[in-house]
Amino acid sequence: MVSQNLLLTAPIGRQLTKMAGPMALGILAIQAFNLVDIFFIGLLGTDALAAISFTFPVTFVVISLAMGLGAGLSACMGQALGAGSQQRAALFTSHSLLLALLLVCLLSVLGVLTIAPLFRLLGATDALLVLLHDYMLIWYLTVPLLVLPMVGNSAIRATGDTRTPSIVMMVAGLVNGLLDPLLIFGLGPFPELGIKGAAIASACSWLMATCVSIGLLWRREKLLRWPLIQLDLLFTHWRQLLHVAIPAAFTNLLNPLSTAVLMMILAGLGTEVVAAYGAASRIEALMLIAMMALSSVLAPFISQNTGAGLHLRSRQALLLSMRFAIGFQLLIFALLWLIAPWLADRFTDNPEVSQHLTFYLRLLPLGYGLQGCFMLLASALNGLRVSSISLMLNSIRLFGLLLPLAWLGNYWYGETGVFTGLLLANILAGIIAATFAWWRFPWKIKQPTN
């Protein structure tokens, strides 16, 4: 019954906190285990670490596709659940997983056939191509095991359960971290596989996550049906899913693209500035975990309430989240202002890098609250199934504000101007997001037809 659905009835702040807490722990665990993964690969030598660095653009494309499909599924089935239609939600889930499997298998086949030409185009040497082939052949053949649990966990989160997917994320990361040294270096009875071992360890952790996620959807959530049982709905659901998924996937891809352009600007300022920005980005990711977690749970909350016709509750959730973002991130700003010099010295012993890093950590966090508002609005728009608006706003933020202001700042004041430009871009984008949320969210947006 709808009345028993806590996403529709529980106090908004309490419910969002209950959902965001486990999600934050899951994100933190995944980041930690990714660092462990890179650490063990780095022990193989510079070539192995360089080879893995070349894989990042490719892996991010696939992960962006999975995140986009997950956003589409979460929005579509969340609105179905909010409207009280368990059967339609189950069909959405089943059809979405089938589409995800088909798309990633197609990408996998294309990837296997283009390993050498693609990475040669990216600049890999012949020596690195040998390592890349060993790693990416296994990665491509097993990547469906990564995409399926990512999409499946989005469906579980759409029901309001963020604890279980977070546990699955943490356990998968732990399995990967434990298997890495065993398979890479051949400890105990395990063979020494080098970089192949890192790929196999990842595949094993993905297999575990896939089995758990599919099992939960089938047995506990009752959200899986034979996807071909109603062919008349299959293409309708795929169209509705892609209406959200394609803009959401492109939104995810915009960030690394803009980062690449920003790195070109910073590279002209010297290695020390690039090093400072690299360290700051890692610290920044940790400081924004709360916003990542809150934005990830806001989408299913809004999709269910929109499906139930509770538009005022959706609006209140977004505005409450934005107020929290500003208050919480101001506390983070105050903390970083105090500890920035100490933190910079932990990351580098180069005085110039430390000076740039300290300046960044005392300046950019001032805009974290408004940056969080932008993240929250983008997630809320995905929940409304209008991710095309999110893509438009994110494009304006990156290519209309962030990169131009960074370029102008560099032209006038060097690295100080670049960092100041980034701050101004985040502040202006946050103001746009808050204004949009206040005046336009959610009922004045034309909803897509079911």
Write the pLDDT tens digit of every residue in 162-217: 899 989 888 888 899 899 999 999 988 889 999 999 999 999 999 999 999 999 99
Cβ neighbours around 220 below 10 Å, total:
12
Q: pTM of the entire structure?
A: 0.84
* Confidence tier at 330 by pLDDT (50, 70, 90): very high
- Worst-scoring range by mean pLDDT, 7-16, 230-239, 336-345? 230-239
Sign, CA dihedral 380-384-387-390, equals: negative
* Confidence tier at 14 by pLDDT (50, 70, 90): very high
The predicted pLDDT at position 443 comes to 54
How far is 400 from 417, CA to CA, in rounded Å?
A: 17
How far is 447 from 269, CA to CA, in rounded Å?
A: 46
Q: Which residue has the higher pLDDT, 97 or 229?
A: 97
Residue 447 pLDDT > 60: no
Give yes or no for a cis peptide into 365 (omega within 30° of 0).
no
How far is 278 from 271, CA to CA, in rounded Å?
A: 10
Mean pLDDT within 403-417:
92
Mean pLDDT within 353-377:
93
* CA distances (Å), origin 441, targets 71, 313, 445: 19, 11, 7
CA-wise closest residue to 276 among 263, 289, 292: 263
Residue 445 pLDDT > 70: no
Report whether 224 contacts 218 (CB < 8 A): yes
What are the tokens at 175? 């399995």
Mean pLDDT within 344-361:
87
Cβ neighbours around 418 below 10 Å, total:
26
Residue 232 pLDDT > 80: no
Residue 4 pLDDT > 60: yes
Residue 98 pLDDT > 80: yes
Q: Which residue has the tokens 């994320």?
A: 169
Residue 297 pLDDT > 80: yes
pLDDT in tens, 268-294: 888 788 888 878 887 888 889 999 999
Residue 3 pLDDT > 50: no
Q: Which residue has the higher pLDDT, 267 or 107?
A: 107
pLDDT in tens, 57-66: 788 788 888 9
What are the tokens at 14? 């309490």
Torsion region of 194: left, alpha or beta (phi above 0 gives left; psi -120 to 50 gives alpha): left
What are the tokens at 382? 């995905």
pLDDT in tens, 136-160: 999 999 999 999 999 999 999 988 8
Mean of all residue pLDDT scores within the chain: 88
Residue 118 pLDDT > 50: yes
The predicted pLDDT at position 59 comes to 84
* Confidence tier at 252 by pLDDT (50, 70, 90): confident
Residue 404 pLDDT > 70: yes
What is the percent of the chain where pLDDT is above 90? 48
